[in-house]
Structure 1
Amino acid sequence: MKIKNLLPGLLILFSPFAFAHPGHWGNHGFESGILHPLTGVDHLSVMISVGVLAALFGGRSRWQMPLSFIALMIVGGILGVSGLIVPGVELCIAFSVVAMGVLLWRSVQISHQWVVALVMIFAVFHGMAHGEEMPLNTQALEYFSGFVISTSLLHMTGMAIGVTVLRLSVSGRLVKLLGAVVALLGGSFLLS
C-alpha cells in the first residue's frame, strides 16, 4: 500500500467533521446528555453563538432566542429518538455553523425575526442529532434533561461573551472576528 493512498483516509479520520459526533463519552442517560453538546465542536459553536446573538440583539431577544432554540431542540430530539430518518442532518448542522458565523458577522444588521426563525430551524437539526445518538438502554427523560441543561449553560456562556464584547470599544471588530472564526469552522465541516 502506498503512503499517498493512506493519507486521504487518515485526513478523513482527523477531520473536524469526523469528530462532530464521535459517540460521546458517558454511557448513562443524564451523563451522556450533558456531554453530548460539549463534545461536539459543531454544537458548541452554534449554541454559544446563539447566546452571543441574543446578547447583541438585547431586549426580548436576550431570552427569546435561547428559549426558542431549546424548545425546538427538544422537538428535534423527540423526532430523532422516534426513529424519523431525515437525510442530511449532519450536513444541515454543518451549514448551521456557517450560517451562525455569517449571522455574527452581520450581527444586528439582519432582521430579528429572520434570525430567530433561523435559530429555531437550526435547533431542530441539532436536536435530531442529539436524539438519534441517544445511547441504548437510556431513559429519554434523563438524556434530554442532560442536553437541555448543557445547552442552557452554553447559551449563557455565549450571552456572557456577548455582553463582554458589547462593553469593549472595539466590539464590532470582535463580533466580526468571532463570526469569521465560526463560519470558517463550519466551512471546514462542509469540506470534510
Structure 2
Amino acid sequence: MKIKNLIPGLLVLFSPLALAHPGHGGDHGFESGILHPLTGVDHLSVMISVGILAALFGGRSRWQMPLSFIALMIVGGILGVSGLVIPGVELYIALSVVVMGLLLWRSVQISHQWVTVLVMAFAVFHGMAHGAEMPFNSHALAYFSGFVLSTFLLHLSGIAIGSAVLRFSASGRLVKALGAVVAMLGGSFLLS
C-alpha cells in the first residue's frame, strides 16, 4: 500500500468530526451511556491505556487504577450532569491522551502512585464530558450505568492487551510504540 493512499484515511480519522460525539446512537439512558465511551477515539485510547498501564504495573495497580478511574469518572459525570463543567474540558481530555501515551512510553519508570493520581484527574474530565453530553430525555442512573460498564470493559480490554504485551514482548519496545502512537494521537487532537 502506498503512502498517498493512506493520507485520505488519516485525514478522515483525525478530523474533528470523527472525534466528536454527536448522536451516541441511543436516545435513552443505558444505550447512550454504553455507546458514549465507544464513539470517540479520545475516550477509547485513554480507557484502554489505563488498563494497559494497570497490567504493566501489576499487583494492586491491576485493579486500583481502573477502579480509581471509574470512581472519579462518576464524580466527574455528576458534575457534568449538574452543569459544573470546567471550561475547556475537551482540551484537558486531549491532554489526557497525550499524557497517557507518554506514560505508556515511559512504562513503569514512574511511580504507580503518581500514575494513579494522573489517571484519577483524567477520569474527572472524561466523566464531565460524559455527564454534560447525557441525552436530555435520559434517566441518569441508566445512563451512568451504561458508561461505567462500557468503561470497565475497555479497562479490561486494556489489561488483556497489557498482559499479552508483557507475555510476548519482554523488551518493552511494543509498549513504547503503543505509547508513541497514543501520544501522537493526542497531539493531533490538540491541533484540530
Taking structure 1 as the reference length, the TM-score comes to 0.91
Deviations 1:135-186 (A, max 9, x none): 0111000000000000000000000000000001345000000000000000
- Percent of residue pairs bearing the same amino acid type: 78
- Give distance in 2, aligned partners of 1:86 and 1:109: 31
- 1:14: Cα distance to partner? 7.2
User: Residue type matched to 1:109 in 2?
Assistant: Q
- 1:86: Cα distance to partner? 1.2
Q: Alignment partner of 1:26: what SS? A: coil
Q: How many residues align?
A: 182
Q: Which residue of 2 aligns with 1:78?
A: 78
1:47, 1:151 within 8 Å by CA — same for their partners in 2? yes
Q: Which runs of 4+ in 1 moved over 6 A?
A: none
Deviations 1:84-137 (A, max 9, x none): 131110000000000000000001000111000000000000000000000011
- Give distance in 1, aligned partners of 2:124 and 2:34: 18
User: Residue type matched to 1:30 in 2?
Assistant: F
Alpha carbons of 1:13 and 1:185: their partners in 2 closer, same or farther (altered >3 Å)?
closer
Alignment of 1:143-162 (within 5 A): 143-162=143-162
- 1:28: Cα distance to partner? 1.0
User: Residue type matched to 1:179 in 2?
Assistant: G
Alignment partner of 1:22 is 2:21: yes
Q: Which residue of 2 aligns with 1:125?
A: 125
- Give distance in 2, aligned partners of 1:48 and 1:14: 18
Deviations 1:35-75 (A, max 9, x none): 00001100000000000000000000000000000000000
Alpha carbons of 1:171 and 1:156: their partners in 2 closer, same or farther (altered >3 Å)?
farther
Deviations 1:4-41 (A, max 9, x none): xxxxxxxx997444433322221111000000000110
Q: Alignment partner of 1:74: what SS? A: helix
Unaligned runs of 5+ in 2: 1-10
Alignment partner of 1:188 is 2:188: yes
- Give distance in 1, aligned partners of 2:157 and 2:191: 28
Q: Which residue of 1 aligns with 2:112?
A: 112
Taking structure 2 as the reference length, the TM-score comes to 0.91
Alpha carbons of 1:17 and 1:110: their partners in 2 closer, same or farther (altered >3 Å)?
farther
1:70, 1:123 within 8 Å by CA — same for their partners in 2? yes
User: Residue type matched to 1:22 in 2?
Assistant: H
2:19, 2:42 within 8 Å by CA — same for their partners in 1? yes
1:98, 1:182 within 8 Å by CA — same for their partners in 2? yes
User: Residue type matched to 1:88 in 2?
Assistant: G
Unaligned runs of 5+ in 1: 1-11
